[in-house]
Amino acid sequence: MIRPGILVAAAVVLAADAWMLWSAARNRSGSPTSVIELTERELRLVQVGKDSTALLLRFEFDRERFRKYSGKFEDGPGWFDKAKLEQVGFDCRRPPDDPASALRYRSMPDKEVFVVLEYKAAAAAGTESEGTGFRSRLSAVDVGLDPGALRRSYPETRRFLITRGLARLRILAEWDADRRSWRPGAYLRGTITDLLVNQVNVPRPHRAVLDGLQQTTEDYYRTGPDSGEPRYNVVLHYGRNFEPFVASCRLLSAGQQ
């Protein structure tokens, strides 16, 4: 006799599978919200378990760096300032210069937001620090809670993609070693810590292009040619759920990188 618990567990698994299939079908229905072509710089080939037949690409985007000169933060809050933090739901009423605020701000959990990522192609990458080598050319340029409003502000679907991510509030201040206290001028800024969908599966119809690559991106970049040029590019479509799926893959020759 089959135990009721086993039947319940089986029903839960079937329901979860059905929901995933429905969600995937819904995501792919209708016109894509973004169509963007990325290279290995932005979609890194990763190692999966030995027993897995999946081929996964992990997103890499250029996270903001905090520049320091002579021990001072010089870049300020940037575009993700206090007003933008409040816009996506962070409570920023306490003055950041108040020492009692630090613990409160640093204990705030991440918030789910819609992230606008801009892709700078090679011709628009600019200076060496912005675009050459193996550094990702995807960077966060805005966040919000209304994807429709964001798309109206960034209508170029092949340059700006909109997806779900996690935002974190940071409080930044300078430490005065002589006085053993924080100097005045603390400020708040936000950062994108990750994307909710940070990997994409390459389906079987497109696997043949990448199956012949012998190294993961990490291994290739560590042991490969000095130029570190990407080996492939991928066209992604973002569907109704703002989740990506692979539309095509191709290998790159030296002149196309």
User: Tell me: the pLDDT tens digits for 176-214?
Assistant: 777 776 677 889 999 999 999 999 999 988 888 898 888
Give pLDDT, residue 54: 80
Number of domains making up the chain: 1
Element (H, E) at 106: helix 99-106
Domain assignment of residue 2, yes or no: no
Domain assignment of residue 174, yes or no: yes
The bridge status of strand 244-251 relative to strand 232-238 is: antiparallel
CA-nearest of 81, 97, 49, 237 to 167 is: 81
Domain assignment of residue 14, yes or no: no
Which residues does 88 contact at the CB level (< 8 Å), separation at least 6?
111, 113, 143, 144, 145, 167, 190
Structure-block tokens of residue 249: 């893959």
Domain assignment of residue 17, yes or no: no
Give pLDDT, residue 222: 82
Give pLDDT, residue 25: 54
Domain assignment of residue 184, yes or no: yes
Q: Contact 167/190 with Cβ under 8 angstroms?
A: yes
Residues of the chain with pLDDT under 70: 1-30, 49-52, 64-75, 122-133, 175, 181-182, 224-228, 254-257
Helix (H, G, I), strand (E, B) or coil at 9: helix
Domain assignment of residue 91, yes or no: yes
Domain assignment of residue 7, yes or no: no
Range of the domain at 235: 29-256
